[in-house]
Amino acid sequence: MFSASLVLTRTKRTASLLSARAQHLRTALVGRSLATKARTHPFHALAPFEHIDETPVIGTRFPQPTQLSTLLRLSNSDDVLKDLARLASHRGVLFFHEQNISAEQLRELAKRLGELAGKPATSTLHIYPNDYSDTVKSKNSLPQDVMDISSEGGASRTGFSETARASDGWHSDTSFEPVPSDYAILKLHTLPPIGGDTLWASGYEAYDKLSPAYRKFLEGLTALLDAKGVREELAKSKDNAFHGPRGSPENIGAALKAIHPVIRSHPVTRFKTLFVNKFYTTRILELTEDESNDVLAYLARHVSENHDLQVRFRWGKDDVAIWDNRCTMHTATMDYAGLRQGDRVASIGERPYFDPKSRSRRERPEIRAWQEII
């Protein structure tokens, strides 16, 4: 009886010792694998924050309730935000759920992402040329460089028509400016019961899916991007025109037009990306008008009909998207009824350029290696 109970006690103790050792070993191994993961993670500072890729080429989601407002205040926040900017530049768009970030903090975040990614000191936040303060009441309480995205006459409904082709909306924010946006952030605080998804398309993949001959043909061409719709709205509305500077000393005046390379090199990733969009690009300058119309129509179809280079986001209340306007296009979906509203901040980056020595995203072997690690 005695010895049996001793054996039992011993066995229990041995078992619990063994299990403690196993636990210790497990913790050490998990610790080591986390440390290895952090070391090998291409965006080291983001390793502690769970994130998953939405598609192979575009979109990454932070499923845990990682609060962007908390990231702004971490002791290593510069490292974390720098990696967040780099991740956005690689993945095109990042999604965050149920965010408590304020409009003022959205401004801080956009400003810091751009600065940490290396934008020129003269670039700040974009101010939209059309100030909707007369038509949208809530705009009155927002800073001038926070845009009210609203189904009630705000920017998201500019030129809206129920019979319009949905794919006509693909655009890159502020691409009509001489110095357009790098990063933009949108938080939607009011949603209709259903509908109103937003889609993003990868400019890297749009470039990579073209044949080498077509890529070569486009490289070095330049295009006119023209915010004609905004100019027309301004001419007929009571809204006040804002003539600048709109986030850069170069973004001034009432023209709302710019000439940019058709294929652009990304300053953070150094990848080549398609930089024309259906909404603002009106003419490829080196081609005849006829040729230009055909090439632009083809490129618009290339973006809108290749759904393998797109990601579609169904919003929850207070969700936030952060995207890189240099290597993506996006479009809202006007299929909803009811109020849909949020705040959008666009950081101004650098003048677009084409560097023939930059590479295609698919050519970079580390991309494949990174995807295996993450």
Footprint on this chain of Fe ion (rule: CB under 5 A): 173
User: What token pair was written down for 210?
Assistant: 């073209």
Interface residue list for ligand AKG (CB under 6 A): 149, 156, 173, 184, 186, 198, 330, 332, 344
Give residue number: closest CB to ligand AKG: 332
Residue 218 interface partner, choices ligand AKG, Fe ion, none, CB cut-off 5-8 Å depending on type = none
Residue 177 interface partner, choices ligand AKG, Fe ion, none, CB cut-off 5-8 Å depending on type = none
CB of 271 to ligand AKG, least distance (A): 22
Amino acid at 162: E
Residue with tokens 């100030």: 131
Residue 185 interface partner, choices Fe ion, ligand AKG, none, CB cut-off 5-8 Å depending on type = none
CB of 185 to Fe ion, least distance (A): 11
Give residue number: closest CB to Fe ion: 173
In sequence order, what are the beta bridge partners of 284?
A: 223
* Residue-by-residue DSSP string for 306-352: -GGGEEEE---TTEEEEEETTSEEEEE-----S--EEEEEEEE----
CB of 140 to Fe ion, least distance (A): 22
Burial 178-189 (b: 16+ CB within 10 A, else e): bbbbbbbbbbbe
10 Å Cβ neighbour count for 192?
15
If the CB atoms of residues 43 and 170 are measured against ligand AKG, the closer one turns out to be 170
If the CB atoms of residues 271 and 279 are measured against ligand AKG, the closer one turns out to be 279
Residue 151 interface partner, choices ligand AKG, Fe ion, none, CB cut-off 5-8 Å depending on type = none
If the CB atoms of residues 83 and 148 are measured against Fe ion, the closer one turns out to be 148
Residue 198 interface partner, choices Fe ion, ligand AKG, none, CB cut-off 5-8 Å depending on type = ligand AKG
CB of 342 to Fe ion, least distance (A): 11
Check: CB of residue 148 under 8 Å from CB of residue 154.
yes
Residue 186 interface partner, choices Fe ion, ligand AKG, none, CB cut-off 5-8 Å depending on type = ligand AKG
Residue with tokens 């980056």: 349
If the CB atoms of residues 149 and 179 are measured against ligand AKG, the closer one turns out to be 149
Residue 149 interface partner, choices ligand AKG, Fe ion, none, CB cut-off 5-8 Å depending on type = ligand AKG
Spell out the long-range contacts of 210-219 with Cβ–Cβ below 8 A and sequence spacing 24 or more: 210/302, 215/263, 215/272, 215/360, 218/262, 218/263, 218/274, 218/295, 219/262, 219/263, 219/272, 219/354, 219/356
If the CB atoms of residues 83 and 148 are measured against ligand AKG, the closer one turns out to be 148
CB of 152 to ligand AKG, least distance (A): 13
Identify which of 368, 203, 177 has the alpha carbon closest to the alpha carbon of residue 259.
177
Identify which of 307, 130, 138, 298 has the alpha carbon closest to the alpha carbon of residue 214.
298
C-alpha to C-alpha distance for 188 and 71, rounded to whole angstroms: 19
CB of 366 to Fe ion, least distance (A): 30
Residue 119 interface partner, choices ligand AKG, Fe ion, none, CB cut-off 5-8 Å depending on type = none
C-alpha to C-alpha distance for 150 and 158, rounded to whole angstroms: 10
Q: What is the largest CA-CA distance in the chain?
A: 101
If the CB atoms of residues 47 and 184 are measured against ligand AKG, the closer one turns out to be 184
CB of 180 to ligand AKG, least distance (A): 12
Q: Under DSSP, is residue 91 helix (H, G, I), strand (E, B) or coil?
A: helix
Residue 85 interface partner, choices ligand AKG, Fe ion, none, CB cut-off 5-8 Å depending on type = none
If the CB atoms of residues 105 and 341 are measured against ligand AKG, the closer one turns out to be 341
CB of 367 to ligand AKG, least distance (A): 27
If the CB atoms of residues 45 and 169 are measured against Fe ion, the closer one turns out to be 169
C-alpha to C-alpha distance for 153 and 148, rounded to whole angstroms: 10
If the CB atoms of residues 295 and 345 are measured against Fe ion, the closer one turns out to be 345
